[in-house]
Structure formats: structure tokens, C-alpha cells
Structure 1
């Protein structure tokens, strides 16, 4: 039975919980900002797949449609586009982190560099 489709957006609090939940594998975290933004700050363990290259990189970077993927950007707009793109291609467990890394810095990692 295929997994139930998750909501398109996930909160920062829920993302933090999922990343630190004992006994279960964490979701894959993808940063869809550009390289210069990635250099300023990022969530530990996240991988960079810039939205500007998403379509061309997706086939090699995303291969398991059942994988839980949480995508973030600066404020949550680009990540919604990226998660929507993945969903259109069968990745029902792709989610956008609401508020992006800016909200993450507010709620989870206040010492993180900001821009």
C-alpha cells in the first residue's frame, strides 16, 4: 500500500521534531536556495539543489518517490515550487518547510547567521 500523501507544507516545529525523533530515520532535507545563500547559513545535514537547476538535477538527485523530503528556502516560496514540482512527478512525500530558513532561525537556531 503506498504511503498517504502528506500536506504540501510542514511547520518548522514539526520539521525540527522529525529531524530529532529517536528511533526513526529523519526525512531528507533539501535546500533549494542558491549557492551564495547556502554559504551564509544552512540547516545541518541539508543538501543543496538550487531551484534554478531543479529540473535538470532532479532526475539524478531524486530517485525514490516514497522518500520523505522536506525542502526549504529563505521564506518558503521557492520551496513550495520545488515541492510542487516533485509532487507533479510522483513524489507524494515531498513537503515545503513553511517560513523557510528565516523561520528556522527564529524558532530553532537563533544563533544562525541571517540575511
Structure 2
């Protein structure tokens, strides 16, 4: 089961990474990332469109905590499930995506 973490609770999830630098994997398209993006404290940010993840799987550490983000949470959930099927265990889906981020955490992040 993939953990669902709201944007408001993401900081606590990242802190609980227990010594490993967590990753926020944003799987939106480049044009979406240009419209709105976030850089949470305490996490590395990678912006990989969803369709590129299978080809880049070897670039990810199976032991690294990974939170996956998209616009509303659907694509990120699919990517999190894909990662889980490939042996990744410390995963979270950012529920509500960047849209919820704007509503819950930072209204300066544009909604689209």
C-alpha cells in the first residue's frame, strides 16, 4: 500500500526519513513545472515527466525515501505503484498534488 501524504504533512514525512536524504519526484510535464513548482526543505527535487520514469529507473536508489508529486495526485500514484512493483519500499504519494500544495501550504504557488 502506498502511503498518502498531504502537502501539509509532507514536511513531517520528509523529516522522518531517518538520516537518508529524501527525494521529491515531480512527474508532471515540463510546461506544468514552468507554471508552478515547489522546493521543499530537506528534500532533493527531480522533475521527470511520468513517461520517462521507466527508462530512468536505474538512476533511483531503491532505499531512498521517495515522495511522488503531480498536479492532482493521479499520475503520482501510478508512478508510486510502478516504483513499488520494482522494489522501492519507502514511497509516498503527495495526495492532491501541487494543486493541494497551493491550497494547504503556499498560496503563492500558482493553480492551473
Q: Bin the TM-score by the shorter chain.
A: 0.7 to 0.9
In structure 2, the residue matched to 1:3 is none
The structure that has the greater radius of gyration is 1
Q: Is 1:66 paired with 2:63?
A: yes
- Length, aligned pairs only: 107
In structure 2, the residue matched to 1:79 is 76
In structure 2, the residue matched to 1:17 is 12
Partners of 2:6 and 2:103 in 1: how far apart? 13
What residue ranges of structure 2 are gaps of 5+ in the alignment? Answer: none
What residue ranges of structure 1 are gaps of 5+ in the alignment? Answer: 1-5
Compared CA separation, residues 12 and 40, structure 1 to 2 (3 A): same
Deviates more, 1:10-19 or 1:88-97: 10-19
In structure 2, the residue matched to 1:114 is 111
In structure 1, the residue matched to 2:31 is 36
Give the root-mean-square deviation of aligned CA atoms: 2.0
Aligned to 1:46, the other structure's residue is in SS state strand
- Give the counterpart of 1:104 among 83, 101, 106: 101
Give the TM-score normalised by structure 2: 0.83
Give the TM-score normalised by structure 1: 0.81
Aligned to 1:54, the other structure's residue is in SS state helix
Deviates more, 1:12-21 or 1:28-37: 12-21
